[in-house]
Amino acid sequence: MSYPDPAYGPPQPERPRRLRRGLLTVALAALVPGALLGWVAYEAAGSSGGDPERAAAPPSAGGPAQPKESPPPSSGSPDRDGGRPSTPASSTPSSSAPAVSGPLKGKVVVIDPGHNPGNFRHTAEINRKVDVGTHVKECDTTGTATNDGYTEARFTLDLAHRLRALLEAQGATVKLTHDNGSPPWGPCVDERARIGNAARADAAVSLHADGSAPGNRGFHVILPGAVHAGAADTRPIVAASRELGERIAGNLVRATGQGPSNYIGNGTGLVTRKDLGGLNLSTVPKVFVECGNMRDSKDAALLTSGDWRQKAAEGISEGIVEFLKS
């Protein structure tokens, strides 16, 4: 079942500041390599935040899993281990750093950070309906958040930055569907699929966190079912997407020590869906990763940890690498 939409709006990732000329430029230039080395540090199950692109989860006996229309959190949203914020990436969704030599040279990966920190300011835009092949649904939603206000949009963007760094280090060309406030809201779920299609991605991964009931824990990976309706035809990508999802699930367990979801997927960590526009409209192998349940205190403690996010990024990256090299 779908959960109600909270309207959270965290601060945008900090934009790079312009360096002054002269001695300040030299001093900062000397510090940058060390900062970047320190940064390459890390951080996937139900229908959270009323998200039209999420998995269904059992209802809580105590009522709705999430509050409605909560105010945007302050800039003090928790990151409990004091982990560094993710580094701002390119200002356009489709751009990427030049690929380096490595085992993934020539491979293209599209990372889709679920939601957008600016969505709460653009409710009319994200509530408009778009065609996802089998039906119409909302363009996007605000996503969910922990009880302490750490938002899903902030989580997915940080995880995307960590994942991108790991994949680019192996030579892949990595494109994000949105980044650093560009665009200021969305993109819509249909456009997110088109970005991966236009890039002719060898793999596409949409990152999320769930908003299920307390006690529901663990990650799951959502796979596309066989759909052939309207503009949707997933039949050519079903098998490859399953392989991608299986490899990511296995490596997430290994890297994080976190087990698969205890409330969806029958303990496999894998769920097949036929109603998600981001999957239905994809023409390239694609999965959604629900990294954990933000409404469970134990899962929330993991999701708000920079060290854990780095482990999650490593597990997802290794799953993608295995898939691309198979």
In whole angstroms, give the CA distance from residue 293 to residue 149: 14
Q: Could you list the pLDDT tens digit for every one of the 326 residues in the chain?
A: 233 333 333 333 333 433 333 433 333 344 334 433 333 333 333 333 444 465 333 333 333 333 333 334 433 445 554 444 444 433 345 455 555 788 999 999 999 999 999 999 999 999 999 999 999 999 999 999 999 999 999 999 999 999 999 999 999 999 999 999 999 999 999 999 999 999 999 999 999 999 999 999 999 999 999 999 999 999 999 999 999 999 999 999 999 999 999 999 999 999 999 999 999 999 999 999 999 999 999 999 999 999 999 999 999 999 999 999 99
Report field, pTM of the whole predicted structure over 0.85: no
Instruction: Give yes or no for a contact between 85 and 14, defined as CB atoms under 8 angstroms apart.
Output: yes
Nearest partner of 263 among 288, 292, 301, judged by Cα? 292
Domains, the chain, in order of start with CATH, read 41-55+84-325 (3.40.630.40)
Who's near 249: CB < 8 A, 6+ residues apart? 219, 220, 221, 260, 268, 269, 270, 319
The residue written with tokens 């299986």 in the block is 246
Instruction: Give yes or no for a contact between 172 and 98, defined as CB atoms under 8 angstroms apart.
Output: no
Q: Cα(first)–Cα(last) distance of the chain, in Å?
A: 36
In whole angstroms, give the CA distance from residue 63 to residue 100: 50
Who's near 211: CB < 8 A, 6+ residues apart? 3, 6, 46, 48, 49, 65, 66, 143, 144, 145, 152, 293, 294, 295
Do the bridges between strand 203-210 and strand 286-293 make them parallel or antiparallel, or are there none, so unpaired? Answer: parallel
